[in-house]
Amino acid sequence: MSNTQNWTNTVRQAAEAIGAPEATDRIEIALADDLGLTKDDIGLSDLTNESTTPFGDLRASLERNGFKLVQIRKIVAVLRGERKSSEGDRSKNLRTKYGLKEGIKTARLQDLVADYDINEPDDPVSAELKRRFGDAKVIVLDPHAETPTVAIADTLDLMTDYKEGRGLSDKVMIDGLLVEPFAVGEKPHLILEEDPLFVGEALRQNGRSTRGNRIDWSPIKGESRQFVRVAVDMGAIEPESRRDSKDIYLAALDGIKSLEGEFPEVGLEFRKRKQTGDLPKLKVVPGASRKNQPFGVGNRSR
């Protein structure tokens, strides 16, 4: 008789690996209900077999159940009993998975998309996708991911449309947000929201800072964020000070009037810059140096 306890323990360990023990049920739904794996030793054995459960299938199923790519890699590593490979092993791993050059030409599309890395435009996966789709704009990123992550299901839909001769849209709706597709090997021109407190630092796509108090800026919009940056420019607050950042954040939650009441000198400078159209843009392009930033990062907008 198959041992269901091993399955239960392994799934629980996978949930704990991402710091979310409550996610056990969702992982089981992805594996058992969506993929049809049995909740026993046979199912665990199938998980270690790349031909039976390719990473692309596991990723797509776990994504449908609300997991992000970093979480998925950790989950799969536990489920397969693998140690996480380093980035330097990528080429070796691809050769192991797809074999020699001719072997990748017969690879399943969903596996290639799952392994596609926008930062590796010259690796075997990118080369094969480029061979199949040329310059067609068939790649879309997940707008909710914290780092640039391919939206597998939506990308596969676009690729299917292309292969079947249907016209490609220049914009795609993903979970209520419009995104622009781009070609294989093309680096999307990402413009991110800049952290109001930390010059040149991008906010995560959910609006949270990666520095200091890791403040969630999503409730604070427009001019209130710009006011905070003016305060930083003037030296009225110290971004690394937890007290300063907390004080100005709480004032910003109440809007411009509250900010001007707490920081009258900054309010005067803010109004001057607003009249001359010189408020900070708070946009940043990842990877560009400060002098090459198109939005005057670290300075007033130009």
- pLDDT tens, position by position, 82-94: 544 444 566 667 7
Instruction: Of 44, 36, 50, 58, give the one whose Cα is nearest residue 4.
Output: 44
- Pairing type for strands 192-193 and 283-284 reads antiparallel
**300 is a domain residue:** no
Are residues 210 and 281 part of one domain? yes
φ/ψ of 137, rounded to 5, equals -85, 90
Are residues 54 and 99 part of one domain? no
Predicted local distance difference test score (pLDDT) of residue 187: 75
Predicted local distance difference test score (pLDDT) of residue 155: 93
Predicted local distance difference test score (pLDDT) of residue 83: 41
Are residues 177 and 216 part of one domain? no
What are 188's two structure tokens? 């999307």
Beta partners for residue 173, in sequence order: 178
Are residues 179 and 92 part of one domain? yes
Domain hosting 263: range is 192-292
Are residues 106 and 61 part of one domain? no
Domain boundary among 79, 100, 123: 79
Element (H, E) at 124: helix 124-133
How far apart are alpha carbons 261 and 59 in whole angstroms?
A: 50
Predicted local distance difference test score (pLDDT) of residue 251: 95
**206 is a domain residue:** yes
Are residues 133 and 154 part of one domain? yes
What are 280's two structure tokens? 């900070």
Are residues 101 and 64 part of one domain? no
**302 is a domain residue:** no
**266 is a domain residue:** yes
Number of domains the chain contains = 3
Are residues 205 and 288 part of one domain? yes
Residues of the chain with pLDDT under 70: 1-3, 82-92, 99-102, 144-147, 189-191, 205, 212-213, 285-302
**230 is a domain residue:** yes
**257 is a domain residue:** yes
Are residues 95 and 73 part of one domain? no
Element (H, E) at 220: none
Q: pLDDT tens across 35-77, in order?
A: 989 888 788 888 877 778 888 889 999 999 999 988 998 898 8
Q: Is the pTM of this model over 0.75?
A: no
Beta partners for residue 179, in sequence order: 172
Domain boundary among 79, 99, 114: 79
Domain boundary among 47, 79, 111: 79
**301 is a domain residue:** no
Are residues 173 and 95 part of one domain? yes
Mark residue 19 as left, alpha or beta (left: phi above 0; alpha: psi -120 to 50; beta: remaining): left
Predicted local distance difference test score (pLDDT) of residue 53: 85
**237 is a domain residue:** yes
How far apart are alpha carbons 56 and 37 in whole angstroms?
A: 15
